[in-house]
Amino acid sequence: MPLHTKSPLDSKHWKALETLSKKDYDLKSLFSSNSHRFKDLSIHSDDFLVDYSKNLIDIEVLDHLLNLAKEAGLDEAINSYFEGDLINQTEGRAVLHTALRASKNNSAQVDGKDVFGDVQEVLSKIKEFADQVNSGERVSFSGDRFTDVVNIGIGGSDLGPQMIVDALAYYQKDIKPHFISNVDGDHVMETLKVLNPKTTLFLIVSKSFTTQETLTNANTVRDWFLKSASQEDVKHNFVAVSTNIKAVENFGIDKDNIFPMYDWVGGRFSLWSAAGLSIAVSLGSKHFQELLEGAEEMDLHFKTTDFKTNIPVILALLGIWYNNFLKAESEAVIPYTQYLQKLAPYLQQASMESNGKSVDRTGQKTTYQTGTLVWGEPGTNSQHAFFQLIHQGTKLIPSDFIGYKIPLHGNKEHHDILMANYFAQTEALMIGKSKEEVTKELQDQGMKENDIQKLLPFKVFEGNKPTTSILMDKLTPKSLGKLVAMYEHKIFVQGVVWNIFSYDQWGVELGKQLAKNTLKDIQSSTIEGSHDASTNALLKHFKA
Ligand code: F6P
């Protein structure tokens, strides 16, 4: 079934939320007037505790948000999503990354064809390949064992696998992962500098196998490789992951070394497919499997849990409340683990490429806000970078704080300090520091009254800044799979309510075309393309 085309503006709940957004939501008062607030506004699901009580909402707002989702047909939309309906209508495709992690007894149909069997077949191939590389059964052209694996891809063919590999570095096996994405030649050269062609496995990951950056990088890497090996040797050290089998074969990759991707999996949601081969190779197939299991757990939670206690639904609705009613422009994601340093860039693509749309599903321009800006950095580093603006700036920035109870390396002292910061920041953002508290603090330091008055306005913290705390037991492949799937479903829910198509990316396609035309002008003696005056002048300056 296609998704509905109802404008959220027509919902009575949207209108009620508009009225409610004029009210003040003072977190301290909200807590003092409801002794159950934490219990009411937190979700404990297995090893996930999601505390959203420090958000600028009350039960009335929450009820309207939940009803807004119901009215937007979220229930039916979830069914269409999991059942492989062609909900990516502008590209005529299903959106079935959930099928990639669906275990036994699940089947998913695309155009009436069950894809479960195909998925299992590719999964076995991934496992077999990763195991052979790790055991040394599959070796380089030179007979050496592989020591390094390089993923060549961009966007979804890079960000997801790279984020996972980085996040789970603790679980890494013997093969060191590298990622080449940018068409910037310095990126590829800097990476190749440390590699030995005799011990390096290259994975070219491109759903379309037409992406300029990836093909340029792949050609450069192959040329570099051929300085030490023959064309025949390519089949030992190069593997491709793509839907475009013909183009891969033309590149010279052996048929047996091609892993299929599917039309019904969007690039930015493809890390669960063979696009995640670098994950399976560098972390081992067992950890890749656990990652999928974690994601499936979240899929089941999302599919079967009442909206009131449904983690992705609640996170999505909070985002809508801030974006559309309290006029926040961005949201921050602050993981209190260095391992998740690539989470924000990954989420930027997942969220902003999906919901950065301004035309609704009827083809009309939206008159309301859609996708937000997503950004972030790990704590505590971010505390010393941009937290000043969150605490005392003029912008409203709802933030997710992600933390774990158990550190991976067991360094208790560090972990206690890290987590003290995690808790203290959300508390400080909510409580702030009043005039009275600052005055007393300065008096206790022996400061003169006159000086205190001068300094006072700068040292006061308004507080009342919203945060959501996501506290898990431990960073494992499984809990990471769950976390990533949680954000994927949040993106889906928001797209449903906003009445937009979340799974195309025409804006990016335009960039791809424009760069091709401009390249012609850079490489020819004259500038023939029709550019604006500024671009013409810049091109002339560049070519001079
Ligand atoms: O960035 C746009 C995009 O189309 C993404 O959706 C995709 O992940 C990326 O380009 C790479 O595309 P491909 O895997 O086809 O090379």
Q: Among 1, 95, 2, 9, which Cα is nearest to 364's?
A: 9
- Judge if the beta carbon of residue 243 lies within 6 A of ligand 1: no
Q: Is residue 54 part of a domain?
A: no
Give the ligand 1 atom nearest the CA of 208. 15
Residues 6+ apart with CB under 8 A from 253: 204, 234, 235, 238, 239, 240
Confidence tier at 529 by pLDDT (50, 70, 90) = confident
pLDDT at 527: 80
Q: Is the pLDDT of residue 209 over 70?
A: yes
Q: Is the pLDDT of residue 187 over 80?
A: yes
Please indicate, yes or no, whether the overall pTM of this predicted structure exceeds 0.95: yes
Confidence tier at 108 by pLDDT (50, 70, 90) = confident
Q: Is residue 37 part of a domain?
A: no
Q: Among 312, 466, 469, which Cα is nearest to 397's?
A: 466
CATH code of the domain containing 252: 3.40.50.10490
**Angle CA(334)–CA(173)–CA(405) in degrees, nearest 5?**
35
- Judge if the beta carbon of residue 354 lies within 6 A of ligand 1: no
Quick one: which H or E segment has residue 44?
A: strand 42-45
Answer yes or no: are the C-beta atoms of 313 and 74 closer than 8 Å: yes
Maximal C-alpha separation, the chain: 82
Q: Which residues of 398-425 are buried (b: 16+ CB within 10 A; e: fewer)?
A: bbbbbbbeebbeeeeeebeebbebbeeb
Distance of alpha carbon 244 from alpha carbon 502, whole angstroms: 23
Distance of alpha carbon 301 from alpha carbon 309, whole angstroms: 9
- Judge if the beta carbon of residue 504 lies within 6 A of ligand 1: no
Q: Is residue 422 part of a domain?
A: no
Q: Is residue 145 part of a domain?
A: yes
Q: Which positions are catalytic?
A: 353, 384, 512
| Domain total in the chain | 1
Q: Which of 488, 508, 512, 514 to mutate to test the pocket of ligand 1 (most atoms within 8 A of CB)?
A: 508
For the segment 227-246, what is each residue's pLDDT rounded down to a tens digit? 999 999 999 999 999 999 99
Distance of alpha carbon 323 from alpha carbon 368, whole angstroms: 9
* Mean pLDDT (whole number) for 416-428: 98
* Mean pLDDT (whole number) for 271-290: 98
- Judge if the beta carbon of residue 466 lies within 6 A of ligand 1: no
Structure tokens at 416: 């206690």
Whats the size of the chain, residue-wise?
544
Q: Is residue 46 part of a domain?
A: no
The pairs formed by 130-133 with CB atoms below 8 angstroms and a separation of 24 or more are 130/277, 130/280, 130/281, 130/284, 130/285, 130/288, 131/285, 133/175, 133/201, 133/281
* Mean pLDDT (whole number) for 356-379: 98
For the segment 502-511, what is each residue's pLDDT rounded down to a tens digit? 999 999 988 7
Q: Is residue 276 part of a domain?
A: yes
Whole-number Å distance, alpha carbon 126 to ligand 1 midpoint, is 21
Give the ligand 1 atom nearest the CA of 153. 16
Distance of alpha carbon 489 from alpha carbon 486, whole angstroms: 5
Beta strands 373-375 and 113-114, pairing class: unpaired
For the segment 314-355, what is each residue's pLDDT rounded down to a tens digit? 999 999 999 999 999 999 999 999 999 999 999 999 999 999
Q: What is the mean pLDDT of the chain?
A: 96
Distance of alpha carbon 31 from alpha carbon 8, whole angstroms: 30
- Judge if the beta carbon of residue 369 lies within 6 A of ligand 1: no
Confidence tier at 106 by pLDDT (50, 70, 90) = low
Q: Which of 152, 180, 203, 207 to mutate to test the pocket of ligand 1 (most atoms within 8 A of CB)?
A: 207
Whole-number Å distance, alpha carbon 346 to ligand 1 midpoint, is 13
Q: Among 165, 233, 171, 231, which Cα is nearest to 198's?
A: 233
Q: Among 284, 282, 253, 238, which Cα is nearest to 127's?
A: 284
Give the ligand 1 atom nearest the CA of 213. 16
Whole-number Å distance, alpha carbon 157 to ligand 1 midpoint, is 7
- Judge if the beta carbon of residue 160 lies within 6 A of ligand 1: no
Give the ligand 1 atom nearest the CA of 156. 8
Q: Among 454, 440, 456, 490, which Cα is nearest to 470's?
A: 490
Burial class, 21, CB count within 10 angstroms (exposed 0-12 / middle 13-18 / buried 19+): middle
- Judge if the beta carbon of residue 244 lies within 6 A of ligand 1: no
- Judge if the beta carbon of residue 151 lies within 6 A of ligand 1: no
For residue 254, the tally of other CB atoms under 10 A from its CB is 14
* Mean pLDDT (whole number) for 280-306: 97
Confidence tier at 105 by pLDDT (50, 70, 90) = low
> Which domain does 101 fall in, by range?
97-288
